[in-house]
Amino acid sequence: MTYLDSAGAGLPPLSVTNAMARFIDDWSKHGEHWEEWLTHVVELRRLYGQLVGGRTEEVGVVPSVSVGLAGVASCLDPKRKKVVTSELNFPTNVVLWQRMREKGLIKKVELLRQRDGKVPIEAWEKAIDDDTAAVAVDYVSWFSGYREHVREISELARRRGALVIVDGFHATGVFPIDVRKDGIDVFVGGFYKWLCGPHGAACVYVDGEALRRLEPGYTGWHGINDNVIERLQQGRDVFDLPFPLTTAPPAKTAARFEWGTWAVVVVDGAIEAVKFALQTDPAARWDAILKVKGELLEGLENLGFKVLAASSKGTEGSGIVTFGTENHTRLVKELAEKRIVVSGRFNHVRVSPHFYNTREDVGRLLDALKGRS
């Protein structure tokens, strides 16, 4: 198989699948080790913080990016009634805000329009004003592969006092991320794409300064102050005292977004995925992706395909290359019959080579595309 769909789901290393298999085997033979499993959540917080440039206490482990975003959305300043977002974002980071508008929780969602897979920085500058509660941007567009100018957008938002919320799903594991240098308040990301981990877990990073003013409107028993993980870290019996039922003060850390019990088998897989990513320099991974991507772009151009301008040849792009076709469903199916895996999106084909792909992989795809432009 020639697998070129890491933007859909990355192929897991053996360390990921082995960790999950060990968990299931032990659970099936010996039952749960619940307090031990809580320490795995803390380890994932630590490793993810290391990966993106945050601290352990600034990271919460949640079931999905959607859940993480919803928790943060419940914290918005009620005096500000506008959210600025982009139609390049994955629907998760758009429809959430539209639903809030439809329910009267915010007044306006300014949806920035794309052209040829890009949104110019001037559009962000014009849209962000003193009534903006949050600027919600995907670091990399799931469709076009456009890499947003996150640092510049963050600066624009901070000048106006708006919260900067970044979905980094298509950035983490592709190129180096530093949430502090980028000025990001909130960064969310999952594991099953470029980090080559499992579905069913994600992390939400919240900058320490932003954390002090973000109190979610919803929580669960893991999100309150003096929760079970905090008690375990203090060396206490996690059930030494009843949990409060007449009040619900949030945890002082990003655990305030962790509401309910985790799927620890997934947490174990995610831990190994991050460890695997940290074994190599992120810049080296990115360099490997760029080399394969360059071969792909040159080949598509020679074959006469129209590649979205956002699929840049330079270092400002991402791991995604998208080109137009008259019938993406038919072309993706025909490629699959030749054991070449890509994705179809809106009469475009999305190709997403990872560090493990080779020139030969790209060559097989290009050979299969001859005469189809």
CATH number for position 337: 3.90.1150.10
* pLDDT above 70 coverage of the chain, percent: 99
Whether 296 and 271 map to the same domain: the answer is: no
SS3 of 228-244: HHHHHHCCCCCCCCCCC
Shared domain for 243 and 295, answered yes or no, is no
**Six-digit token pair at 221?**
């028993």
- Quick one: 146 and 182 in the same domain? yes
Q: How confident is the model over 209-249, as pLDDT tens digits?
A: 999 999 999 999 999 999 999 999 999 999 999 999 999 99
- Residue 79 sits at the vertex; the CA angle it makes with 77 and 82, to the nearest 5 degrees, is 80
Cα(133)–Cα(50) distance, integer angstroms: 28
173 and 225 co-located in one domain: yes
Does the structure show a pLDDT above 80 at 312? no
pLDDT of residue 309: 75
The residue-averaged pLDDT of 324-341 equals: 96
* 341 φ, ψ (degrees, to nearest 5): -105, 115
Domain closes at, from 278, 294, 315: 278
Q: What's the pLDDT at 160?
A: 97
Specify the CATH number for the domain of residue 84. Answer: 3.40.640.10
91, with CB counted inside 10 A (0-12, 13-18, 19+), is exposed
Query: Do 182 and 292 belong to one domain?
Result: no
Say whether pLDDT at 349 is over 80: yes
Domain count, the chain: 2
**Integer angstrom CA distances of residue 16 from 6, 19, 45, 280, 333:** 16, 5, 17, 16, 29
What is the per-residue pLDDT for 315? 64
Residues 220 and 315 in one domain: no
**What confidence score (pLDDT) does residue 308 get?**
87
- For 189-216, what is each residue's pLDDT tens digit? 999 999 999 999 999 999 999 999 999 9
Give me the pLDDT at residue 250, please. Answer: 96
Domain ranges, residue 294: 2-11+281-369
Phi, psi dihedrals of residue 148, rounded to the nearest 5°: -65, 155
- Arithmetic mean of pLDDT over the chain: 96
Answer yes or no: do 110 and 187 share one domain.
yes
Question: How far is the C-alpha of 143 from the C-alpha of 89, rounded, in Å?
Answer: 8
pLDDT in tens, 13-52: 999 999 999 999 999 999 999 999 999 999 999 999 999 9
Same domain, 176 and 38: yes
Q: Give the contacts of 65 (CB within 8 A, at least 6 positions apart).
A: 92, 167, 169, 188, 189, 190, 202
- The answer on 273 and 324 residing in a single domain is no
Average pLDDT over residues 87-108: 97
243-276 pLDDT, tens digit per residue, is: 999 999 999 999 999 999 999 999 999 999 999 9
Tell whether the model's pLDDT for residue 354 goes beyond 80.
yes
Mean pLDDT for the stretch of residues 146-167:
97
Burial class (CB in 10 A: 0-12, 13-18, 19+), 113: exposed
Are 143 and 116 members of one domain?
yes
Single-letter residue type at 325 = T
Say yes or no: 155 and 29 in one domain.
Answer: yes
pLDDT value at position 313? 67
Quick one: 240 and 338 in the same domain?
A: no
Q: Quick one: pLDDT band at residue 10, thresholds 50, 70, 90?
A: very high
246 φ/ψ angles, rounded to the nearest 5 degrees: -105, -5
